[in-house]
Amino acid sequence: MPKTPVKKSAPRRASARELVFGDLWEFDPAPETADPKLKKRYDLFIGGEFVAPKSGKYFPTISPGNEAKLADIALAGAADVDAAFQSAQKAFDGAWGKMAGSERGKYIYRIARLLQDRAREFAVAETMDGGKPIKESRDFDVPMAAAHFFYHAGWADKLDCLAPGRRVAPHGVVGQVIPWNFPLLMLAWKIAPALAAGNTVVLKPAETTSTTALKFGEILQEAGLPPGVVNIVAGAGETGAAVMTHPLAAKVAFTGSTEVGKIIMRSLAGTDKKMTMELGGKAANIIFDDAPLDQAVEGIVNGIFFNQGHVCCAGSRLLVQESVAATVLAKLKRRIAVLRVGDPLDKNTDLGAINSREQLDRITALVQSGVDEGAEMFQHACKLPAKGFYFRPTVFSGVTQSHRIAREEIFGPVLSVLTFRTVEEAIEKANNTAFGLSAGVWTDKGSRILKMSTELKAGVVWANTFNKFDPASPFGGYKESGFGREGGRQGLLDYCKLI
Ligand code: NAD
């Protein structure tokens, strides 16, 4: 009797669950192994030297990816901040203040080259200190920081072209305070234009991410930058306040929350200090029904999940045209389900750690408010590491403009989805916020892009892309997102006085 032919089994097809939850896509761990060359203790960088704080105090800094202690950081008290300003003033009154732009440019160029040479080391240190995925520190933060120094090195001897018909001069000593979301990049945004314009600097990094800023002192030493031109002091709000209000600060530049920005502005009211403020945001990422939806979904993911949503210009409000809302949401959920959350040092990680427990608690509370106020929550079903601060990528649909998650800056990987029918409604909803830092528009129509970018009250409007930066492009806000620009000719002008 002829045998029944054995049926060859067809290749197994992924089940719907596997496709959605990504069980098929397990990678082996691929940790970055470069040595970050971290010291056990970081002193303050004042007058070109690492000096112990007069306060005698140190505070620990931990890695948010695993909560392990990284180093002890010197805490600058008022006397240390004063020493930093005295040293910056001395440098400004001395060689640096008299140096030709072409010479200053050489130092800035050298800093850029040294940062490039030590890029891998700085990327690992940045990831360990701040929690962001290594692929972001390696491919974005560190190269972009170097790019800012390169760009501004080129300006140092061309300041005559900055304001046609006018001459420009430096302010003197500049006090700068920065946040924890892009520690090294924010440092570059602040220090590079200040030096190109001929100022000297006292900078304070955020208390949870001081390591790479102090490590940057090593680069300044290697570059042979004259003592006192850049001084770096560490500490929390009290140290920041001492930097912002110091009598020798001719100009102050602050990047951080709107709440702290307002406190600083109140404390400086009535003084003649020049000020620039880069504050919070609640950007709308607007998807029209003629947009290339797959590309738009990538843009949405990049807009809100990049750097765990620790981005002032994050596209945290998705405004999607009603006719394509269900399709976009379905595509978005599929895409989110295959994002990899975990060890920031793993080269395959898409979302690393939340910067601190305090920030994790803030995100958790705001997400709870979204649930309590009746929005529908979708969360990535992944397993999170047992140690460290992690939060699942989260999408809320059915959000209305009155929900807290649609109004307040969450600064985490949390997206609120709202819908609209007409161009006018999209503009009205996008502008219905206290902030005005950035926005995104996805559409096939050039004329619509022009209309939207004219009517959206946002300092930056991206079209058919999101979160793109260039040192030559000015960045900054409207309304409660602050004033002044960083990057480009406009950013450099903020570090000069017109004479
Ligand atoms: P934060 O305002 O809490 O702290 C920012 C910095 O200010 C830190 O260095 C902190 O130590 C210091 N500080 C705190 N109190 C101070 C005071 N009274 N006086 C002077 N300095 C003080 O902000 P954060 O939580 O570190 O950063 C997140 C915020 O930064 C978000 O709101 C985000 O949108 C904003 N941000 C804005 C931009 C931009 O370009 N607009 C860029 C990055 C981050």
Show which residues are catalytic. 278, 312
Cα 260 to ligand 1 centroid, rounded to whole Å: 7
Beta-carbon count within 10 A of 490 CB? 15
First to last CA, the chain: 105
- For ligand 1, whether the C-beta of 81 sits within 6 Å is no
Look up residue 363 and give its two tokens. 């995100």
Structure-token match 């004259």, residue found: 226
CB 394 within 8 A of CB 377: yes
Indicate which atom in ligand 1 lies nearest the CA of residue 481.
Answer: 41
Residue nearest to atom 30 of ligand 1 (CA): 256
Cα 92 to ligand 1 centroid, rounded to whole Å: 27
Given a cut of 70, whether residue 171 has pLDDT beyond it is yes
**Reduced to 3 states, what is the DSSP secondary structure of residue 284?**
strand
Write the burial class of residue 2 (CB in 10 Å: 0-12 exposed, 13-18 middle, 19+ buried): exposed
- For ligand 1, whether the C-beta of 126 sits within 6 Å is no
pLDDT for the residue numbered 382: 86
- For ligand 1, whether the C-beta of 264 sits within 6 Å is yes
Given a cut of 90, whether residue 368 has pLDDT beyond it is yes
Mean pLDDT within 147-170: 96
**Reduced to 3 states, what is the DSSP secondary structure of residue 168?**
strand
Residue nearest to atom 15 of ligand 1 (CA): 237
Given a cut of 70, whether residue 472 has pLDDT beyond it is yes
Cβ neighbours of residue 2 under 8 Å, at least 6 residues apart? none
Domain with CATH 3.40.309.10 in the chain: 284-463
E strands within 217-270? 230-232, 249-255
Task: Name the average pLDDT for the chain.
Answer: 94
CB 216 within 8 A of CB 203: no
The CA distances from residue 440 to 33, 449, 467, 475, in Å, are 36, 10, 9, 14
Pocket test for ligand 1, best of 312, 357, 478 (most atoms within 8 A of CB): 312
CB 174 within 8 A of CB 251: yes
Pairing of strands 414-420, 394-397: parallel
SS3 per residue for 100-162: CHHHHHHHHHHHHHHHHHCHHHHHHHHHHHHCCCHHHHHHHHHHHHHHHHHHHHHHCCCHHHC
Report residue 472: phi and psi, to 5°: -85, -10
CB 351 within 8 A of CB 413: yes
Rounded percentage of the chain residues whose pLDDT exceeds 90: 92
- For ligand 1, whether the C-beta of 442 sits within 6 Å is no
Structure-token match 């106020």, residue found: 373
Angstrom distance (rounded) from CA 351 to CA 392: 9
Given a cut of 80, whether residue 160 has pLDDT beyond it is yes
Angstrom distance (rounded) from CA 82 to CA 237: 16
CB 284 within 8 A of CB 319: yes
Element (H, E) at 407: helix 404-407
Indicate which atom in ligand 1 lies nearest the CA of residue 207.
Answer: 11
Look up residue 75 and give its two tokens. 């805490």
CATH no. of 41-279+479-498: 3.40.605.10
Structure-token match 């929550």, residue found: 377
Q: What pLDDT, in 10s, does the model give residues 379-414?
A: 988 889 999 999 999 999 999 999 999 999 999 999
Q: What pLDDT, in 10s, does the model give residues 194-213?
A: 999 999 999 999 999 999 99
- For ligand 1, whether the C-beta of 239 sits within 6 Å is no
Domain with CATH 3.40.605.10 in the chain: 41-279+479-498
Beta-carbon count within 10 A of 19 CB? 15
Mean pLDDT within 279-297: 97
Look up residue 77 and give its two tokens. 């008290």
Given a cut of 80, whether residue 475 has pLDDT beyond it is yes
Edge to edge, the sheet with strand 414-420 lists 376-379, 394-397, 414-420, 317-321, 284-287, 438-442, 460-463
Angstrom distance (rounded) from CA 203 to CA 104: 19
Q: Which of 197, 248, 196 is nearest to 84 (CA)?
A: 248
Cα dihedral across residues 162, 190, 481, 122: positive or negative:
positive
CATH superfamily of 284-463: Aldehyde Dehydrogenase; Chain A, domain 2 (3.40.309.10)
Q: What pLDDT, in 10s, does the model give residues 300-316?
A: 999 999 999 999 999 99
pLDDT for the residue numbered 1: 45
Radius of gyration from C-alpha coordinates of the chain: 24
pLDDT for the residue numbered 33: 85
Q: What pLDDT, in 10s, does the model give residues 459-469?
A: 999 999 999 99
Pocket test for ligand 1, best of 144, 177, 245, 438 (most atoms within 8 A of CB): 177
Q: What pLDDT, in 10s, does the model give residues 1-39?
A: 445 444 444 455 545 455 555 555 677 889 998 899 999
Q: Which of 253, 145, 151, 272 is nearest to 494 (CA)?
A: 253
Rounded percentage of the chain residues whose pLDDT exceeds 70: 95
Q: What pLDDT, in 10s, does the model give residues 318-340?
A: 999 999 999 999 999 999 998 99
Q: Which of 121, 293, 304, 312 is nearest to 218 (CA)?
A: 121
Mean pLDDT within 47-73: 97
